[in-house]
Amino acid sequence: MRVTTCTINVGKSLGNRELVMELLSFVDLFFILEAPAKRNEEKEECESAGFELFSFCKGSGVEVFVKRDIVGLVSLVRHNEWSTVVRYNTAKGEEKLFGGVYLRPGEKKEEAMEKLESLNDCDIIAGDLNARHPRWGSKGGDNHKNTYGYAVNDYANNHGYRIDAPEIPTFRDISVIDICLKKGTERLTWTDKTALEHEGIIARLDMEIPWNYIEPQIAWKKVDWKEMEHRLGEICKERGGWDDITALVNEQPRKRRFRGKDEWYKEEIAQLAADTKFLRRGGRKEEWSLARNVLRNRLIQGRYDNLKNKLSKAKYPEIFHMVKDLEGRRSVPPIKDKDGQPRYKHEEISDIIAKQIESDEPREWSNVEVNITVDAQELRKGLDRSLGNTAGGYDVISYPVLRFWFKQQEKHMVDTMNHLIRYGEPMWHKARTVLIQKAGKDDYQMAKS
């Protein structure tokens, strides 16, 4: 799987961070340098659609955001005040480390070298190093040297890193300080569409998909149902089992995981962004500041005009689901604490679940063969009561498929379900289950409450 990362300095501006994450919608993993923070060094909240805050620590100059559907592909190694290192596995099964770095200006060479030495295990080091040296700056017209430049140059020579830098200045129209040190052959580019003072470093990484990684949902509107009926008939004739049904479902077309440019990002906005960039590089600060504000307002207006058009075309009941998404609610439903108060935040919900698990004494597992059977009437009743928009499990077999299967091959499905109930399925795992009340439910005796 190809995953795109962006390492960019936003200059402690909350608006810049939101702007970058909105414009670069094709990016899956953000390393935000010189991250926005409140006066007490607490994190400024971010509600960018589709992203989760992956890592942040108080006083740090780096924070990491990951798209929700790829959170499981990276793991945190360490995070300190000037760098964040994450681990990922390549498509070839190799383990690699990626470091997002922000070296604040003003430190001595020895201090800078000490920090860089702690990144020896990284395969890629990208960020705002505030390092100037003709080795990489000359391509962008920057032939100056500074303390960090000497330190980074010595560090790269001593540890076998290649230094990648663009042929343009990365900070205003002055210097090349946003660079990348790498040991592999990863593809790198520098973005120029954000109109910020710093350029963003774009890296494209090939990552391995774990065995338990949930694939995108199936695009049921694109499924060939006649072919599905034919294949189900063949499986029934050959007395196929659950694995054959799962394989058939996995062959169906899936929804797109990653978006390209947003549909509201028109050619007019792209031209305005280019003009803003031109003013910045020309050193015309007053004109650039004005154009930048106009660009931001145009981006906001374009986005909300697009949302307005979507809502105006929606009908009952879809419009209510769309409005709920616009309000920023996450996928986890609210639950009640021991005092009966609803909790919405992920961290609060996690704490409640953790306390429930800790209070329960562990029990020994035992396999029990049960003598339970279901008939066609019970299956039909259960499927009719099930919602069509409920997500499937790891096998991604949703209720529309199960209902279609039951309609076409009723006896085969009844036999398969009875076999699964009696003997189990290797895909099912042992787990501790904690029942927690959802908020807003009148009767907790009802199913799914």
The gap from C-alpha 175 to its chain's centroid, in whole angstroms, comes to 32
Checking if the pLDDT of 340 tops 60, the result is: yes
Lowest mean pLDDT among 99-103, 113-117, 270-274: 270-274
Q: Give the model's pLDDT for residue 39.
A: 52
Average pLDDT on 338-359 reads 68
- Residue 237 in contact with residue 412, Cβ under 8 Å? no
Token pair for 354 = 């953790």
Q: Report the alpha-carbon distance of residue 380 to residue 375 in Å, rounded.
A: 9
Tens of pLDDT, residue by residue over 386-403, are: 776 665 565 567 777 788
Residue 358 pLDDT grade (very low, low, confident, very high; cuts 50, 70, 90): low
Residue 111 pLDDT grade (very low, low, confident, very high; cuts 50, 70, 90): confident
Q: Report the alpha-carbon distance of residue 170 to residue 172 in Å, rounded.
A: 6
Checking if the pLDDT of 155 tops 70, the result is: yes
- Residue 241 in contact with residue 283, Cβ under 8 Å? no
Average pLDDT on 103-117 reads 83
Average pLDDT on 57-71 reads 81
Q: Give the model's pLDDT for residue 209.
A: 66
- Residue 20 in contact with residue 200, Cβ under 8 Å? yes
Average pLDDT on 331-336 reads 61
The better pLDDT of the pair 124, 224 is held by 124
Checking if the pLDDT of 143 tops 70, the result is: yes
- State the chain's mean pLDDT as an integer: 76
- Side chain identity at 33, as an amino acid letter? L
Can you name the CATH fold of 2-206?
A: Deoxyribonuclease I; Chain A (3.60.10)
Q: Give the model's pLDDT for residue 100.
A: 92
What angle do the packed helices 318-326 and 285-313 form, to 10 degrees?
Answer: 150
Q: Which long-range contacts (CB under 8 A, 24 or more apart) does 80-84 make?
A: 81/57, 82/115, 83/115, 83/118, 83/119, 83/127, 84/31, 84/55, 84/60
pTM (2 d.p.) = 0.52
- Side chain identity at 361, as an amino acid letter? E
Average pLDDT on 34-46 reads 62
Tens of pLDDT, residue by residue over 265-303, are: 677 777 787 788 777 777 777 888 888 888 877 777 777
Token pair for 414 = 């009844």
Residue 406 pLDDT grade (very low, low, confident, very high; cuts 50, 70, 90): confident
Q: Give the model's pLDDT for residue 123.
A: 92
Q: Report the alpha-carbon distance of residue 272 to residue 263 in Å, rounded.
A: 16
Average pLDDT on 44-51 reads 60
Q: Half-sphere exposure of 96 toward its Cβ, with a 13 Å CA cutoff?
A: 21
260: exposed, middle or buried (Cβ count in 10 Å: 0-12, 13-18, 19+): exposed
Checking if the pLDDT of 92 tops 70, the result is: yes
Checking if the pLDDT of 125 tops 90, the result is: yes
Q: Report the alpha-carbon distance of residue 314 to residue 308 in Å, rounded.
A: 10
Q: Give the model's pLDDT for residue 427.
A: 60
Checking if the pLDDT of 98 tops 90, the result is: yes
Average pLDDT on 242-247 reads 76
Residue 330 pLDDT grade (very low, low, confident, very high; cuts 50, 70, 90): very low
Q: Give the model's pLDDT for residue 126.
A: 92
Domain ranges of the chain: 2-206, 220-255+333-423, 267-326
Q: Give the model's pLDDT for residue 403.
A: 82
First-to-final CA distance of the chain: 37
Closest to 130 (Cα-Cα) out of 155, 113, 147? 147
Token pair for 435 = 């029942």
User: How far apart, in Å, are the Cα atoms of 71 and each of 47, 87, 235?
Assistant: 16, 12, 36
What are the backbone angles phi and psi of residue 95, rounded to the nearest 5°? -90, 130
Token pair for 313 = 């075309």
The better pLDDT of the pair 437, 244 is held by 244
Checking if the pLDDT of 258 tops 50, the result is: no
The better pLDDT of the pair 295, 43 is held by 295
The better pLDDT of the pair 51, 320 is held by 51
Tens of pLDDT, residue by residue over 301-321, are: 777 777 677 666 666 555 545
Checking if the pLDDT of 337 tops 90, the result is: no
Judged by DSSP in three states, 37 sits in: strand
Q: Give the model's pLDDT for residue 447.
A: 64
Lowest mean pLDDT among 117-126, 173-182, 280-289: 280-289
What are the backbone angles phi and psi of residue 402, rounded to the nearest 5°? -60, -40
Checking if the pLDDT of 328 tops 50, the result is: no
User: How far apart, in Å, are the Cα atoms of 205 and each of 21, 160, 208, 386?
Assistant: 19, 20, 10, 40
